[in-house]
Amino acid sequence: MVSIYFGTGFRPSELRLAEYRDLDLKKERLFVSSPKGEGNWATKVWVDFIRPDVMPMVREYDHEWKDYLEDNGIENARYLFPNLHWHTGYYSEASFRRIKAKISEASGVDFSLKMFRATLTTLTVNGDLSRLPAMGMQLRQSNSETIKKFYADIQRANVGKQLKPAWQETPVIRRVETNLNEIRRNDLDAFAHRPPAIDFDNTSSGREVWRTRRDSNPRPAA
C-alpha cells in the first residue's frame, strides 16, 4: 500500500478502489479506474511508477496477493486490495484507515495516506523546479497554476520545520539567562565584601548604633 502510494502519487480513494487488472507490472504503471471527481472533471488514465526503488515491494505484494487468495480458497478477486469479508469486495474508507493505523503502529512511523502526494512532489521537484509541470501531470492536476499552488502550499507548510532549528545558532534566552546570572553573581560578590557602615550617636543615648546594608535595624553595641 505505502509503496504504491509513494511510487505513483495516487489519492487515497483511488488506490483503495483500484482493481487488480489496473496493475501493469511489465510496464510499471497503474490505471486510475476510480479517479476522484469521476463523472465531472476527472479522467481514467494510466499513471507510471516514478519511483523504481519501490517496484521490488510492489512485485512482492503481487505474489502475496495471489497467496492470500489461494490460502482462502478463492481463485480470483476484483480489487487490488480485496476485502474477502465484505460483499462489496473492497475496503471502506474507515477500514482502510484501520489498516493504515496497523502499518503505522508496526513501523513506528505516524503518517496519513494523503501525505504521500506531497512527499513525492517535494522529493521529485526540490532542486529542479523545471520538473513541476511534469509532476502536475503525474498528479493529474487540472492546470499548471494548480500544481504551482499545490507545491507552494507544501513548501509553506514546511517553513516552520525548516526555520525552527535556526534558533540554536543564536540562543537568545540562554544568553540572557547567562548574563543575568553573571550580574547577580557579581552583585552578590561585591555586596559580600562591603564593610558595614557604623554610626556613632553619643550625644543622646551613649549607645553605639550599627547599620549595615544587610540589617537596617539599629542594635546596641556589645
pLDDT of the residue at 210: 47
Q: Is pLDDT larger for residue 148 or for residue 163?
A: 148
14 and 106, same domain (yes or no):
yes
C-alpha cell at 44: 481514467
What CATH number corresponds to the domain at position 29? 1.10.443.10
Phi, psi dihedrals of residue 171, rounded to the nearest 5°: -75, 90
Distance of CA 63 to the CA centre of its chain: 32
97 and 120, same domain (yes or no):
no
Across 98-112, 117-131, 154-168, 205-219, which has the greatest mean pLDDT? 98-112
Q: Is residue 217, in this structure, part of any structural domain at all?
A: no
pLDDT of the residue at 133: 84
Cα separation, 60 vs 63, whole angstroms: 5
78 and 180, same domain (yes or no):
no
Cα separation, 175 vs 173, whole angstroms: 5
**Number of domain units in the chain:** 3
**Residue 46, domain extent:** 1-111
Residue 138 near residue 50 (C-beta atoms within 8 A): yes
Residue 16, Cβ neighbours under 10 Å: how many?
Answer: 23
Cα separation, 31 vs 48, whole angstroms: 9
Nearest CA to 53 out of 127, 135, 129, 120 is that of: 120
Q: Is residue 222, in this structure, part of any structural domain at all?
A: no
**Percentage of residues of the chain with pLDDT beyond 90:** 44
Helix (H) or strand (E) holding 65: helix 55-71
pTM of the predicted model, to two decimals? 0.65
pLDDT of the residue at 217: 54
Residue 59 near residue 49 (C-beta atoms within 8 A): no
Q: Is pLDDT larger for residue 50 or for residue 128?
A: 50
26 and 42, same domain (yes or no):
yes
3-state SS, residue 215: coil
84 and 131, same domain (yes or no):
no
pLDDT class of 184 with cuts at 50, 70, 90: low
Least confident among 33-42, 64-73, 102-111, 159-168: 159-168
Across 1-10, 116-125, 126-135, 209-218, which has the greatest mean pLDDT? 1-10
181 and 204, same domain (yes or no):
yes
pLDDT of the residue at 39: 56
Residue 26 near residue 16 (C-beta atoms within 8 A): no
Average pLDDT, the chain: 79
Q: Is residue 129, in this structure, part of any structural domain at all?
A: yes
Q: Is residue 142, in this structure, part of any structural domain at all?
A: yes
Q: What is the pLDDT of residues 10-47, one digit of tens each?
A: 999 999 999 999 999 999 999 999 998 665 556 789 99
